[in-house]
Amino acid sequence: MKNKNLWAPWRMEYLKALGLKHAQKEQPSDPDKPDECFFCNYWRTPDQDQTNLVLWRTRRSLVVFNRFPYTAGHLLLAPARHVGDLLNLDEKSLLEMMLLARDAQKALTEAIKPHGFNLGININRCAGAGLPEHVHLHLVPRWTGDNNFMPVIGHVRLISQVLDELYRQLTEISQRLRLPSVKT
């Protein structure tokens, strides 16, 4: 069988970042320098929320689109505090992240009607954390049959919706449904 090309030019940013990490011998960012963390950078730049695809910000948390999603609507929920695991988060931050996950599930259900969701936290690099110094929760919409031959055999994921379009749609739904329910 002849190989066919599947064009995904938006992935180049991710691939270049991987190459940069490799060139730096995979040295982790310094936890005492949260300016190297994109969540912390987003937290400090509320005027860039649309550019950074920050859907919601509350007193203790951010909800942002994953720029390198597993599926359409893959969101990341991160506490404002730059900590690497749940053990260092206060109860109010933990509760707020779960309430935001619930609200994000509601908004995504309205927008793209997934059949289910994966909700997960990868703590430390060996568990799959791409940014182990800043704990975050993944909310991943799923559809029956979305694990077809492409990711299993071809090691390719198909993303069915443009991030900017879904960002606009979720922003409108959030306003209509008065989400997030967490008060800032």
Would residue 124 be called left, alpha or beta, if left means φ above 0 and alpha means ψ between -120 and 50 degrees? left
Closest CA to 140 of 173, 168, 112: 112
Query: DSSP letters along 144-168, please?
Result: TT-S-HHHHTS------S-HHHHHH
Is residue 122 domain-resident?
yes
Average pLDDT of the chain, as a whole number: 82
Average of per-residue pLDDT across 130-137: 94
Q: Give me the domain span that covers residue 92.
A: 28-177
The answer to whether position 114 is within a domain reads: yes
Across 145-152, average pLDDT: 57
| Contact between residue 60 and residue 79 where contact means Cβ atoms under 8 Å apart | yes
> 3-class DSSP state for residue 169?
helix
- Asked whether the beta carbons of 60 and 96 are under 8 A apart, the reply is yes
Which residues neighbour 85 within 8 Å (Cβ) at sequence distance 6 or greater? Answer: 123, 124, 135
Q: Is the pLDDT at 168 greater than 70, yes or no?
A: yes
| Locus of tokens 């568990």 | 127
Domain of 50: which CATH number? Answer: 3.30.428.10
Residue 162 domain-assigned (yes or no): yes
Number of structural domains in the chain = 1
In a domain, 133, yes or no: yes
Q: Quick check: is 13 in a domain?
A: no
**CB-based contact 141:108 (threshold 8 Å):** yes
Token representation of residue 128: 């799959």
Q: What's the token pair of residue 76?
A: 């990341």
184, part of any domain: no
Whole-model pTM: value is 0.77
Contact present, 107 and 174 (Cβ < 8 Å): yes
Q: What pLDDT, in 10s, does the model give residues 39-97?
A: 999 999 999 999 999 999 999 999 999 988 878 899 999 999 999 999 999 999 999 99
Name the pLDDT band for 8 (thresholds 50, 70, 90). Answer: low
CB neighbour list of residue 130: distance below 8 Å, 6 or more residues apart: 122
Q: Is 37 inside a domain boundary? A: yes
Domain membership flag for residue 148: yes
The residues annotated with a catalytic role in the active site are 136
